[in-house]
Chain A
Amino acid sequence: MSALASGMLLVPNFLHGLDRSGLPLLGNSNGKRLVVVQLSGGNDGLNTVVPYQNDLYYKARPTLAIPSREVLTLEKGLGLNPAMEKMRLLYDQGYVSVLNSVGYPNPDRSHFRSMDIWHSASASDEYLSTGWLGRYLDSLSGPSANYAAIEVDDTLSLALKGERYTGIAVQDVKRFFQATNDQFLKQAAQLHAEEHSHHQVDYLYKTLIDTQQSAGYLQEKTKVYRSKKEYPNGEFARHLKTIAELIASGVESRVYYASLTGFDTHVRQAGQQANLLRELSEGLYSFVKDLKQQQEFDNTLIMVFSEFGRRVAQNASNGTDHGTANNLFLIGGKLKQAGIYNEGPNLQDLDQGDLRYSIDFRNIYATLLNNWLNGNAAGILGDKTQLLPGLV
């Protein structure tokens, strides 16, 4: 291999793909993007989307059930937690789809393992070291920059790690840029921008150079635009605002990832969960408004999920313990079918006190990958998944 050709390998990938005339960087992604919102800790779905016409719900939760008169009613006997007024506003505009009883076979009740399963899209007796979105990056034909998927955090989730490509974790663009802008390391990296005999050294330098370049690119792109929209206080809303700014600045990322934590409500759940759901709804509402104003909402799809729901019956401490199937929200301006996507959870036919799943989450992933991101779900998730009709 000539020195020139091998040196080329170390030029950050996105420089090959960057097109000054404004063509999309990731040609086969349709110019659409996905924003994943993770609710960490296992959100209680039954008190989020409340089956307020079901006596069994009230029987199972004598002191924790939300009174029917307080529920923000939707359709099919379901309504939102009263803290989710802003989510209802989005719902009323036809921007929200609620998927009920989402889960997987042989569910795991460990937070970590269940999240691992959601991130890697594995079966519960299968262990993968890559994530579903990382494998999506791998599957893209042509060059893919690591900022093609951005998680707003300090550390990167498994979901965004692929075999060849991984996303990047950026909490704050400026800080990220400063942290990777050490002059000595930049000079050292430049010395390695060409062939080197030791492949592991090459690999580390290539990762370093990619990171430095991505930080530079993001810093350059975002230094002008600041969102003027009002967002609520708090870290979660700030992270959504960061995503909106990246989008509005023309950053060519296809996947964004943000988390809201604290949903592990074993004790005195009501107030805690309400605060979190309010934070979620108000944050998303501002985010949607912001994107709409930037004319970017129609290109954006938001998925909100948690690693598991809670048990149907409340526990002795006005809380709920780890359960199984749960609801999941899709939010977007171009949903094929807004509203309640499928029947609410069946509280009559439980599996030892837990909800049975009726939609495998991997089928939702498959549908988003195929129909929204123009990806190849079978290649990314295996050929057992099925597309859900009328979703996106």
Chain B
Amino acid sequence: MKQLRIVILFCLVILICSACNASSKESGAAKVVESFYHAIVNQERDQVGTIACAAWEKTALREIDAFMGVKAELSNVTCSVKETNGDTASVICTGKIAASYGNEITDFPLDGRIHTVVKEQGEWRLCGY
């Protein structure tokens, strides 16, 4: 009987957490764009599948490959949702990527980019900019 109670409690915790998860979905669109830029500077190719939508995955991989072997870092990057339309959101960012090519540092400002983020299988995925 005690064990059954534990199982019921376990299921309840999962369900409550599931509900909490549903209410915190709005910030996910901006977060996924930030994750993309983090993946770029950390050269984490394997993260792309989780970040990019199916149609944009190949381009996202190319973007990361362009920074492979380059020392890059994010400078004051923050993203926010500009507008949401159902399962699509536009995200804008501030800050820049500072990439070092030997002694030369090149900045890639993110200010002008409007990122398209779509909801795929219930998760926000970056689908281009």
Q: Is A bound to B?
A: no
B residues with CB within 8 A of A = none
